[in-house]
């Protein structure tokens, strides 16, 4: 807004680069009132100054000879740089030229590994976890791992033992990488898997709170049940022959499975135990069917020996029961 009109003169206050006119006497609100000889009100709502022509009150006030320019015409550096008169303004004489300010490096100084997404694919009782890991911080050349925990009720720690692991040799800033972790032959049930990036906590990061993610999943499928039905052994002086009968008392099994024999073993075998002989049934075994395999121990030493047979020695087949997969027999040469 323009300042009030003055009948007795102009008072000029210079502050920074802004000029303000202060007045007394007649006003825009009451142009008909004149308190001095230099002001004459006219019938059309205008006033005269020192005998000059009438002035429209919507215009800036006239300026005496040699006086400062009207506020509307006065140079204002703020307008040149887009600053409004109400904004805080620093006079150019005291400002620092923009081209002399050193740029500030805002790039991250630490890596920031995070799990962007986890997609789960189920095929029967087999699961594939596709994990996308990203580095939203600085580049890291340090090796780190991504680990899968089949079933946990609480988040894994830096020392928790994982079921599956993939190791990456660093990750550039702003880059992502997808990896796959699997669980085979999961028994029927409900589980909570955990995925952890930098699971052993070797990489120093700006934020450690986004390195883990949990995924609930469920297995509910008709399962086979491979049973080691019978194991017999018969010697002929220079060798011992074994007859192993396997039956499937559960659902159809169309994937291959292995059968192993341990000629001399004091305890029951477990998954992946070292075998004496092993054979594969590549065609699987339909529900209710049985198959028989034969093994031979050539030139066994004299004496009594405890032998074992085991079906699904690789432990890749999810079954109704895992307790009926082996048997033992005593043999003597």
- Domain residue ranges in the chain: 1-102, 113-219, 226-332
Name the CATH superfamily, with its identifier, for domain 113-219: Immunoglobulins (2.60.40.10)
pLDDT at 216: 96
Most confident of 10-14, 35-39, 46-50, 285-289: 285-289
Residue 107 sits at the vertex; the CA angle it makes with 102 and 111, to the nearest 5 degrees, is 155
- How many whole angstroms separate alpha carbon 148 and alpha carbon 131? 10
Residues 6+ apart with CB under 8 A from 116: 132, 133, 134, 176
Lowest mean pLDDT among 87-96, 150-159, 166-175, 257-266: 87-96
* Residue 136: band (very low, low, confident or very high) from pLDDT cuts 50, 70, 90: very high
pLDDT greater at residue 142 or residue 106? 142
This prediction's pTM: 0.46
Residue 239 predicted with pLDDT over 70:
yes
Mean per-residue pLDDT, 304-327: 93
Mean per-residue pLDDT, 70-75: 54
pLDDT at 76: 54
* Residue 109: band (very low, low, confident or very high) from pLDDT cuts 50, 70, 90: confident
- How many whole angstroms separate alpha carbon 280 and alpha carbon 282? 6
pLDDT at 8: 40
For the segment 45-68, what is each residue's pLDDT rounded down to a tens digit? 555 544 445 555 555 556 656 666
pLDDT at 100: 65
| Whether 177 contacts 132, CB under 8 Å | yes
Q: What percentage of the chain has pLDDT greater than the value 70?
A: 68
Indicate the class that CATH gives domain 226-332: mainly beta
- Is 226-332 the same fold as 113-219? yes
């Amino acid at each position: 807004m323009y300042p009030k009109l003055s009948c007795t003169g102009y008072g000029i206050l210079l502050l920074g680069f802004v000029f303000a006119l202060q007045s007394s006497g007649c006003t825009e609100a009451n142009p008909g009132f004149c308190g001095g000889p230099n002001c004459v009100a006219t019938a059309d709502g205008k006033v005269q100054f020192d005998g000059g022509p009438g002035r429209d009150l919507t215009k800036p006030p006239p300026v005496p000879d040699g006086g400062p320019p009207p506020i509307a015409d006065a140079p204002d550096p703020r307008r040149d740089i887009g600053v409004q008169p109400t904004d805080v303004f620093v006079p150019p004489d005291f400002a620092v030229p923009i081209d002399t300010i050193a740029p500030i490096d805002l790039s991250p100084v630490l890596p920031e590994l995070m799990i962007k997404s986890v997609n789960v694919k189920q095929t029967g009782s087999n699961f594939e976890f596709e994990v996308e890991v990203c580095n939203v911080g600085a580049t890291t050349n340090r090796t780190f791992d991504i680990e899968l925990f089949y079933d946990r009720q609480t988040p894994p720690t830096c020392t928790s033992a994982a079921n599956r692991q993939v190791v990456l040799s660093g990750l550039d800033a702003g880059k992502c990488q997808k990896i796959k972790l699997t669980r085979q032959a999961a028994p029927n049930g409900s589980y909570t898997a955990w995925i952890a990036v930098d699971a052993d906590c070797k990489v120093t990061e700006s934020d450690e709170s986004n390195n883990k993610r949990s995924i609930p999943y469920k297995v509910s499928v008709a399962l086979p049940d491979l049973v080691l039905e019978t194991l017999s052994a018969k010697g002929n002086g220079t060798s011992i022959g074994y007859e192993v009968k396997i039956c499937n008392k559960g659902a159809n099994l169309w994937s291959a499975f292995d059968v192993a024999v341990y000629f001399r073993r004091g305890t029951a075998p477990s998954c992946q135990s070292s075998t004496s002989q092993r054979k594969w049934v590549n065609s699987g075994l339909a529900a209710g069917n049985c198959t028989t395999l034969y093994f031979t121990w050539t030139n066994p030493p004299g004496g009594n020996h405890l032998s074992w047979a085991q079906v699904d020695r690789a432990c890749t087949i999810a079954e109704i029961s895992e307790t009926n997969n082996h048997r033992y027999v005593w043999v003597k040469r």
